[in-house]
């Protein structure tokens, strides 16, 4: 399986980007058996014990490590009377070795499951408030990492999807933040501006930003709080920070519902800028703040689908490659006050 992976995909599996020149040096001199030797010595801090663990003669192990150090022109281990200690440079190589061995074991286990027809479909839940581009990105990544393996999607509100993961009928989910509780592993994957949605001919559209006082008068459309209580509560807190205490008169279940209510003059709404689809509508930011709608990949602590560890590493790599967006409340810009974190309605 590894021989068919592109370099970028291998980096994604390892969860790190290797500088080309360093990768070349490692691939020229370091064979996989060397990585096993280095990991065992680093773990035991003793060449003799490592040799026993590896079923290799101690002199042969010492010689091969010394030859490798000479080839790399660095010392991986410092010899002591009672054993060895790992040098600073050696710690980098040892960490790489341990990760490569773990990855090898995972890949072999996955490949074996695929070969035996035992690789289960990956069951992913998602909220309709998640940008479809994120779903496509996850699908593309999964198909690239696990060719021929299937992914099943299930839409629903976050509360329902979290219950499904608790009941183990879903393996993971793409959901708006925040996600509360100790039972979840949460990896943020995307962030986009949270803005005011209005009709294109609304007088507010003549402004570059919507003042908080105007937002307070017009903001009446909200996602049903029961579908994602944590997100709703956080939104109310954020609005209170800028003196907005809205009258919640219209509750919706989908982004499409929000947009038709805005078109039919039921009020304005806060939405993720990336999901606006109706050409008769437009958006403006709220004056004085930079709020974001954030999306995360979520799974249970202890979730055991074979693909999750590698998929999570790929998700982290995609996230780390994107420019960081930090939502900062202006009032906190020059103080020690906390900034307002992104969220979704």
In this structure, the number of other CB atoms found within 10 A of the CB of residue 278 comes to 16
In this prediction, residue 322 carries a pLDDT of: 61
Q: Is 43 exposed, middle or buried (0-12, 13-18, 19+ CB in 10 A)?
A: middle
Class of domain 192-293: alpha beta
In this prediction, residue 4 carries a pLDDT of: 40
In this prediction, residue 200 carries a pLDDT of: 95
Give the span between the Cα atoms of 32 and 44, in whole angstroms.
19
Written as six digits, the tokens of 146 are: 């696990």
Residue among 42, 53, 18, 24 at smallest CA distance from 94: 42
Per CATH, which fold does 122-188+294-332 belong to? D-Maltodextrin-Binding Protein; domain 2 (3.40.190)
Calculate the CA 258 to chain-centre distance. 27
Give the span between the Cα atoms of 276 and 268, in whole angstroms.
13
In this prediction, residue 99 carries a pLDDT of: 87
User: For residue 2, what are the CA distances in angstroms to 98, 101, 146, 209, 304?
Assistant: 17, 13, 11, 51, 22
CATH 3.40.190.10 residue spans of the chain: 122-188+294-332, 192-293
CATH 1.10.10.10 residue spans of the chain: 2-115
- Helix ranges (H only) for the chain are 7-14, 20-29, 32-44, 47-54, 58-72, 88-115, 132-145, 158-166, 212-218, 229-241, 255-263, 308-321
Q: For residue 190, what is the enclosing H or E element? A: strand 184-199
Class of domain 2-115: mainly alpha
Q: Could you list the pLDDT tens digit for every one of the 345 residues in the chain?
A: 333 444 444 444 444 444 444 444 455 678 889 999 999 999 999 999 999 999 999 999 999 999 999 888 899 999 998 899 999 999 999 999 998 888 888 888 877 877 787 788 999 999 999 999 999 988 988 888 888 888 999 999 999 999 999 999 999 999 999 999 889 999 999 999 999 999 999 999 999 999 999 998 899 999 999 999 999 999 999 999 999 999 888 999 999 999 999 999 999 999 999 888 889 999 999 999 999 999 999 999 988 888 888 888 877 776 776 654 443 333 333 333 333 344 444
DSSP string computed for 41-107: HHHHT-HHHHHHHHTS-HHHHHHHHHHHHHHHTS-SEEEETTEEEE-HHHHHHHHHHHHHHHHHHHH
In this structure, the number of other CB atoms found within 10 A of the CB of residue 4 comes to 7
Q: Note the pTM of the prediction, 2 decimals.
A: 0.70
CA gyration radius, the chain = 26
**From its phi and psi, is residue 243 left (phi > 0), alpha (psi between -120 and 50) or beta?**
left
């Amino acid at each position: 399986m590894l021989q068919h992976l592109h370099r970028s995909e291998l980096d994604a599996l390892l969860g790190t980007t290797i500088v080309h020149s360093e990768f070349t040096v490692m691939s020229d001199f370091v064979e996989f058996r060397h990585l096993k030797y280095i990991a065992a010595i680093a773990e035991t801090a003793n060449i003799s014990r490592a040799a026993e663990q590896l079923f290799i003669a101690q002199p042969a192990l010492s010689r091969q490590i010394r030859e490798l150090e000479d080839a790399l022109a660095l010392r991986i281990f410092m010899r002591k009377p009672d054993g060895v200690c790992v040098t600073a440079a050696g710690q980098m190589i040892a960490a790489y070795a341990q990760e490569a061995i773990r990855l090898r074991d995972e890949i072999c286990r996955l490949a074996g499951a695929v070969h035996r027809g035992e690789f289960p479909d990956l069951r992913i839940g998602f909220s309709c408030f998640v940008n479809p581009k994120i779903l496509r990105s996850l699908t593309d990544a999964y198909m690239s990492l696990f060719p021929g393996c299937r992914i099943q999607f299930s839409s629903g509100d976050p509360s329902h999807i979290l219950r499904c993961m608790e009941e183990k009928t879903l393996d993971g989910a793409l959901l708006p933040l925040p996600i509360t509780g100790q039972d979840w592993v949460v990896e943020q994957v995307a962030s986009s501006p949270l803005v005011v949605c209005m009709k294109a001919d609304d007088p507010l559209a003549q402004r570059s930003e919507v003042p908080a006082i105007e937002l307070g008068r017009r903001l009446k459309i909200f996602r049903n709080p029961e579908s994602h209580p944590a997100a709703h509560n956080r939104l109310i807190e954020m609005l209170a920070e800028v003196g907005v205490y809205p009258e919640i008169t219209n509750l919706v279940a989908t982004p499409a519902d929000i947009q038709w209510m805005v078109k039919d003059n039921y009020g304005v709404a806060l939405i993720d800028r990336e999901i606006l689809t109706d050409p008769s509508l437009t958006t403006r930011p709220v004056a004085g703040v930079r709020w974001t709608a954030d999306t995360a990949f979520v799974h249970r602590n202890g979730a055991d689908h074979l693909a999750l560890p590698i998929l999570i590493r790929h998700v982290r790599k995609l996230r780390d490659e994107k420019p960081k967006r930090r939502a900062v409340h202006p009032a906190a810009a020059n103080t020690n006050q906390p900034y307002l974190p992104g969220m979704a309605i």
